[in-house]
Amino acid sequence: MLNNSTNIVVIGAGAVGSFFGGLLTKAGYPVLLIAKEPVASALNSHGLTIKWTNAEEHIAIKASANYADVAPAKLVLVCVKTPDTENLALQIKPFLAPDAVVLSLQNGIDNCERLQKNLAQSCYPAMIYAAIGKSSPTAVTHFGGGSLTIGTTQTNPQDPVQTEGHLHSIQQLFEKAAIPTTISENMIEDLWTKFVINCVFNGISAIGQINYSSMSKLPEIASLMEALLSECLLVAHACDVPLQADKIRTAIGYISLNWPLQKSSTAQDLAKKKKTEIDHLNGLILQKAASHNIATPYNQSIYTLVKMLEAQLHD
């Protein structure tokens, strides 16, 4: 099982990977952050800075650009963008220790299954409740939150005792790093809840390059968000995932109020001229809606506009 001396590898040096990799390093765990060059060299030379609301914290961190360095890891945190999931699994597959545990800290509802399809090691999904931005190759800004929810999407795990042991070990490991972590009793519903919230927020923030506070001040945007939510709820129900609409609306209100300066990850990607995860957010809603003959014109509009902005990055 995982313990205080567990070797941890964090793959992906974006906002999420850098933030949680930094906190785990600060807690004393042996952590290696795998990033592309020149980011890996910059982290080794300058360390990582976490910018909190009222302070800055500098953390010396180890980084590498070589996937072979995943070999000693007993816990691997996957923090790459959703479109890169399957390729990453194939890249690390030859090097993963047989008893390594893989935790996906990614947006979307199917990353864990896509990892598990290519890996023999146990893979689990995690949901992040945090507002974080990457302000430079070696710095992240924390806008709010910082907790995790972990669990399994397997209704009947092949080895339920092992699954329970893994999840409790991961929970204890994160909580020793002052990262509040909950084990979900219904991870599928929880993943869909977070997924729908992302579908409501991310595209609008990206199209307008606006933060959540600016979104909440416009009644027209509030109406659009409600329309997106209604479509997503119909699709979820058709997929046999009955979500709690009031719970999601409460979460949307909380995010707007408590993370006012945050822009969505989709907005951050476009600002950095990077491909977004929209195909795995509103785009996935469109796919599932089509298979159930459900009309989703609001999600279609958001998806189309973000794809238009993506296309302009390469003009």
Q: Rounded distance, CA 244 to CA 237, Å? A: 10
Question: Does the residue 315 lie in any domain?
Answer: no
Identify which of 161, 180, 160, 184 has the alpha carbon closest to the alpha carbon of residue 172.
180
Q: Is 153 found in the same domain as 30? A: yes
- For residues 305 and 300, give the distance between their C-alpha atoms in angstroms, rounded to a whole number: 9
pLDDT of 48: 98
User: Does some domain include residue 25?
Assistant: yes
Whether 303 maps to a domain, the answer reads: yes
198 and 141 in a single domain? The answer is: no
Do residues 163 and 194 share a domain? Answer: no
- pLDDT score for 228: 98
In a domain, 278, yes or no: yes
Query: What is d(CA 1, CA 162) in angstroms, rounded to the nearest whole number?
Result: 9
At 310, which amino acid appears? E
Are both 102 and 19 inside the same structural domain? yes
Check residue 225 and give its pLDDT: 97
55 lies in the same domain as 172:
yes
Give CA–CA dist 87/77, Å, rounded. 15
Q: How far is CA 264 from CA 60, 148, 206, 211, 299, in A?
A: 28, 18, 7, 7, 16
What pLDDT was estimated at residue 6?
85
Residues 34 and 178 in one domain: yes
Distance CA 77, CA 97 (A): 14
Q: What is the pTM of this model?
A: 0.93
Could you report the average pLDDT of every consecutive run of 10 residues in the chain (315 residues)?
Answer: 82 96 96 97 98 95 98 97 96 97 95 96 95 94 95 86 96 96 96 97 97 93 97 98 95 93 94 94 98 98 97 80
State whether 158 and 12 are in the same domain: yes
Structural domain span for residue 208: 187-310
Return the pLDDT at 315. Answer: 58
Answer for the pair 136, 164: CB distance below 8 angstroms, yes or no: no
Q: Is the CB of residue 133 less than 8 Å from the CB of residue 140?
A: yes
Same-domain pairing of 166 and 200: no
Domain count for the chain: 2
Q: Are residues 25 and 171 in the same domain?
A: yes
CATH of the domain at 84: 3.40.50.720
Domain end call among 148, 183, 218: 183
For residue 77, the model assigns a pLDDT of: 98
Residue at a domain's end among 152, 183, 214: 183
Say if residue 52 is in the same domain as residue 198: no
SS (H, E, C) 9-69: EEECCCHHHHHHHHHHHHCCCCEEEECCCCHHHHHHHHCEEEECCCCEEEECCEEECCHHH
Domain assignment present for residue 50? The answer is yes
Question: Looking at the domain assignment, is residue 1 inside a domain?
Answer: no
Among 168, 183, 198, where does a domain finish?
Answer: 183
Same-domain pairing of 41 and 176? yes
Strand partners, 139: 49, 136
Mapping DSSP onto H, E and C, the string for the chain reads CCCCCCCEEEECCCHHHHHHHHHHHHCCCCEEEECCCCHHHHHHHHCEEEECCCCEEEECCEEECCHHHHCCCCEEEECCCHHHHHHHHHHHCCCCCCCCEEEECCCCCCHHHHHHCCCCCEEEEEEEEEEEEEEECCEEEEEEEEEEEECCCCCCCCCHHHHHHHHHHHHHHHHHCCCCEEECCCHHHHHHHHHHHHHHHHHHHHHHCCCHHHHHCCHHHHHHHHHHHHHHHHHHHHCCCCCCHHHHHHHHHHHHHHCCCCCCHHHHHHHCCCCCCHHHCHHHHHHHHHHCCCCCHHHHHHHHHHHHHHHHCCC
- Give the Cα separation of 65 and 41 in Å (integer): 8
What per-residue string of b and e applies to 175-202 under the rule 16 or more CB within 10 Å gives b? eebebebeebeebbbbbbbbbbbbbbbb
The answer as to whether 153 is a domain residue is: yes
CA 205, CA 151: separation in Å to the nearest integer? 29
* One domain, residues 174 and 198: no
CATH at residue 299: 1.10.1040.10
Please report whether residue 172 resides in a domain: yes
Look-up of token digits 């509802």? 109
